[in-house]
Amino acid sequence: MKENKFMNPKFVLALISSPIFAVYGLLPVYLFNAVEFGSIIKEFTFLTSVFLIIWFSNLILLRQLKNELSLKFFTISYLFVMCFVRIAVYFAEEFLKTPELEINLIYPLFSVLVINSIILLLINTVEMNFKRKQEILENEKIKTLQLQTQHRLLLNHLQPHALFNMLSTLKSIINNNPNEAADFTVKLSNFLRNSLQNDTAGLHSIQHELSIVEDYLHLQKSRFGNSFVYNIDIPSHFLTYQIASLSIQTLVENAFKHNLFSTYQPLQISISIAKESLFVKNTYAPNDNETDTGTGLINLNERSEILMDKGIEVSKTNKYFEVVVPIKPVI
């Protein structure tokens, strides 16, 4: 979310408040002294320029510190104002040459620091309001991406041929092994339910995400048998780490959807963690009959950038396809 340069609220506030501060400075002299109108205009213009410089110096400093309202920012701001006021007073005494200038422009340092405090308060208010609006927009974007993910997964799971394949597998298992059929039915039910209910939180624990993936792999194992193998190597202390919801599931589904595999050349899938990132790696044998639009990876990357402040990393060789997904500990 970027602010328009000339419609930036801080820019507008600087233009509005600087003349007000100048009037505040001239008002005592104007009320209690006989001052020529020409002098008032000249001194008003000078004071307005002074406060505009203070305003924009603070804004430039804030930008240099990457919009961080820190102790460093406030310290530099006050030090700059104290030095600048002395320079401004010297300039006024030397070049404006008005008899009442000594009264008008030599403010007690306390008054100038108070005005600078007001400027900093206004900057802080605008920054907080901007960040709040930015968070609202990002949350809305997350919700949209999550709904898109849910919709895509729902279509994948409930496409007629997908359901037909699962039900055909279930029918075959029922005839051959009723006990295994019961387990298959429970896994299928859990998988569909968890997938559809997994769209709101944005982040989930790795343990939660793996439970969905393991149900899915169990279903695929019943269907494809030895045509694929998988390995999940996640140290127990990483199970509580958070990851973008449905990220592992998306990558595992892509491996099945976009690759050719058989008992002679089985699909190999590995899920592991290294350097506090999660790696999903599979053998690469692209299925030319499947159209790869990249929507799933684009969606996952956008969600990861919003939720984790870091996108996914994709690498591919002639034999392997690997995606690195950022994770983070629970705070």
The model's pLDDT over 3-49, given as tens digits with 9 standing for 90+, comes to 454 457 778 888 888 888 877 766 766 665 545 666 677 777 877 88
Sign of CA dihedral 285, 289, 293, 297: negative
pLDDT at 101: 46
The model's pLDDT over 130-186, given as tens digits with 9 standing for 90+, comes to 888 888 877 777 767 666 665 555 445 444 445 566 666 666 677 677 777 777 777
This prediction has a pTM of 0.53
Query: Across-strand partners of 272?
Result: 233, 279
> What CATH number is given to the structural domain containing 189?
3.30.565
Say yes or no: 131 and 167 in one domain: no
pLDDT at 158: 42
Of the given ranges (31-35, 60-64, 75-79, 289-293), which has the lowest mean pLDDT?
Answer: 31-35
DSSP 95: I
* Assigned domain for 50 exists: yes
Give the end of a domain, one of 136, 169, 203.
136
CA distance linking residue 109 with residue 111, whole number of Å? 5
Q: What is the mean pLDDT of residues 57-75?
A: 81
Q: What is the mean pLDDT of residues 272-293?
A: 86
**Within 10 A of 281 (CB to CB), how many other CB atoms are there?**
19
Say yes or no: 93 and 215 in one domain: no
CA distance linking residue 50 with residue 17, whole number of Å? 12
Give the end of a domain, one of 121, 136, 151.
136
pLDDT at 218: 83
Say yes or no: 184 and 320 in one domain: yes
**Total of domains in the chain:** 2
CA distance linking residue 229 with residue 233, whole number of Å? 13
Say yes or no: 122 and 188 in one domain: no
pLDDT > 80? residue 91: no
* Assigned domain for 153 exists: no
Residue 177 φ/ψ, nearest 5 degrees? -155, 90
Structural domain of residue 36, as residue ranges? 9-136
